[in-house]
Amino acid sequence: MKKILFIFILIPCTIAAIAGSATLSVTPGNDTVPDSSVIARAGQVSHNSNTLIYKCEMKKTIAAPLWRSVKKSFAEADSLNADFMLIHMNTYGGQVDIADSMRTLILNYDIPVLVFIDNQAISAGALIAVAADSIYMRSGAGIGAATVVDQSGQKMPDKYQSFMRGMMRATAEAHGKKPVIDGNDTTWVWHRDPEIAQAMVDPSIVIRGIVDTGQVLTLTTLEAIKYGFCEGQAETVKEVIEKAGIKEYTIKELKLTLVDKIIMFLVNPVVSGLLIMLIIGGIYFELQSPGVGFPLAAALFGALLYFAPLYLEGIAANWHIVIFVIGVILLLVEIFAFPGFGVTGVLGIIGIVTGLALVMVDKIVFRFGPSIDGVKEITGAFAIVILSAVLSFLFSLWLSRKLFAPNRLFGSLALETTVDKADGFESFDTGKLQSLVGSHGVAHTVLRPSGKVMVGNEIYPAVAETGFISRGTDVIVRREEQGQLYVVAADKA
């Protein structure tokens, strides 16, 4: 089905590219048979006292949290057997792939969809609005300016614009044509002119009386009414319903559950950034004190809160999570199996950072292959993760000083006295430990990788350089570092 939809979108894209900068007329010809099924269904509902209108708020950036509430609204309207869906819109756009999902949902919906543009339907918002059966706009509102831009507001390459042009044309064409009768002559005209819809994306299109070349089209309320992109002007939801010819009605709207609110809170970009800081900070402290466990548990908990809602929203794909999990596994292997910090640890950190960063990249970047703008967006995502890591590190240092400094909250937990040889305490002599390098011994305990070995008649703490070493295995001391012996199994030396 997705392949068929993509082909359906691609064909008008190709036609749009061939059309180029041709000068177009506002009134289309009558050379095709009209498809009025979409228009007709708005009149199939009996406007009686049982009319149920389901209202869906669309007043945020077109992104995952809004998409979740829209899907739930449409599903609940289905379950209630609503007669109309009313979208209350005021948006400046957002993610193209999510906007595509919304407009597809509207086009394929079983009941008439009304849109009330309460100020703006810009960029991706225009695409969604054009998909509705009827559009009503407040005075001073606008619809259009649907050119695809990156996060910095810069125009994306033409292949992105071609995709958007095709979607705008296809969406307008989906509403079919309507008859205009002049005496004995009947002319079929587009209900929503595809060329005008395309001009909202393509600045090269000239439409006499509407837009000159080099300008992306945005229609005011009166212009939208004049050129068939608005059924009427309304100032309130009540006025929209009256203009739609509905006399008696009941309005229902989505009531978010506690789970919905938690998920929407977690997918907030600010919260996601804080969770990244928790993940990176936990991993950092675990690297500083291997085996403690609590920092790593905090990092994994942060990862669960970061990925779970994004996965439920359809933002995080399976491969994002797989990359992150592989990174965590490699890092755990580095911490518990290979003392020091080597290739395994580096690959683990790369996997973790990559998994966290690529979730933030718009899927449309991957749909069209490599591009300069795509590289910029991916680089920006990695920069956010790295910045979060730096901030997490600095915050952790500050918090440690505040909590564990003398006379602070946890200051009493820190040992402030010193012990020395005069008090009867004696550590291993570093010189003696260095003299043991090259000596043979026996693993006194299992080394996982830390443990104890017996060299001569004395027992020393030691760390296995590679893997685990079973108790009773012959070992060789390879090196001494900061008062710590590092050993290997004799049969692997």
In three state form, how does the secondary structure of the chain look? CHHHHHHHHHHHHHHHHHHCCCEECCCCCCCCCCCCHHHHHHHCCCCCCCEEEEEEEECCCECHHHHHHHHHHHHHHHHCCCCEEEEEEEECCECHHHHHHHHHHHHCCCCCEEEEEEEEEECHHHHHHHHCCEEEECCCCEEECCCCECCCCCECCHHHHHHHHHHHHHHHHCCCEEEEEECCEEEEEECCCHHHHHHCCCCCCEECCCECCCCCCEEEHHHHHHCCCCCEECCCHHHHHHHCCCCCEEEEECCCCHHHHHHHHHCCHHHHHHHHHHHHHHHHHHHHCCCCCHHHHHHHHHHHHHHHHHHHCCCCCHHHHHHHHHHHHHHHHHHHCCCCCCHHHHHHHHHHHHHHHHCCCCHHHHHCCCCHHHHHHHHHHHHHHHHHHHHHHHHHHHHHHHHHCCCCCCHHHCCCCCCCHHHCCCCCCHHHHHHCCCCEEEECCCECCEEEEEECCEEEEEEECCCCECCCCEEEEEEEECCEEEEEEHHHC
**What is the identity of the amino acid at 448?**
R
Would you state the structure tokens that stand for residue 71, as one six-digit string? 């899907």
Of 71, 87, 89, 117, the residue nearest 256 (C-alpha): 71
**What is the identity of the amino acid at 194?**
P
pLDDT (0 to 100) of residue 363: 63
Round to whole Å and give the CA distance between 53 and 83. 6
Confirm if 354 and 385 have CB atoms less than 8 A apart: no
What sign does the CA torsion over 57, 62, 66, 71 have? positive
Round to whole Å and give the CA distance between 98 and 123. 12
Residues 6 or more apart whose Cβ sits within 8 Å of residue 30: 186, 187, 188, 189
234 burial level (CB within 10 Å; 0-12, 13-18, 19+):
buried
452 phi and psi angles, rounded to 5 deg: -135, 145
pLDDT (0 to 100) of residue 8: 36
284 burial level (CB within 10 Å; 0-12, 13-18, 19+):
middle
Q: Tell me the pTM.
A: 0.62
Round to whole Å and give the CA distance between 439 and 487. 10
C-alpha angle 237/242/247, rounded to 5°?
120
From first to last of its 493 residues, what are the pLDDT tens digits of the chain? 333 333 333 334 333 333 333 333 333 333 333 333 333 454 444 445 589 999 999 999 998 778 888 999 999 999 999 999 999 999 999 989 889 999 999 999 999 999 999 999 999 999 999 999 999 999 999 999 999 987 777 888 888 899 999 999 999 999 999 888 888 888 899 999 999 999 999 998 888 888 877 789 999 999 999 999 999 999 999 999 999 999 899 999 998 888 878 887 887 777 877 888 888 778 777 766 665 578 878 888 988 888 888 787 767 778 888 898 898 888 778 766 665 567 887 888 888 888 888 887 766 556 656 666 667 767 877 887 788 777 777 776 776 666 655 555 445 545 555 555 555 555 556 677 888 888 999 999 888 788 899 998 888 888 888 778 888 999 999 988 877 889 999 887 6
pLDDT (0 to 100) of residue 186: 86
pLDDT (0 to 100) of residue 9: 36
C-alpha angle 373/64/266, rounded to 5°?
110
Residues 6 or more apart whose Cβ sits within 8 Å of residue 149: 123, 155, 156
Going from the C-alpha of 96 to that of each of 264, 290, 445, the distances in angstroms are 20, 44, 60
Going from the C-alpha of 192 to that of each of 173, 318, 464, the distances in angstroms are 7, 39, 73
Round to whole Å and give the CA distance between 360 and 362. 7
Rounded (10°) CA dihedral 305, 307, 309, 311: -160
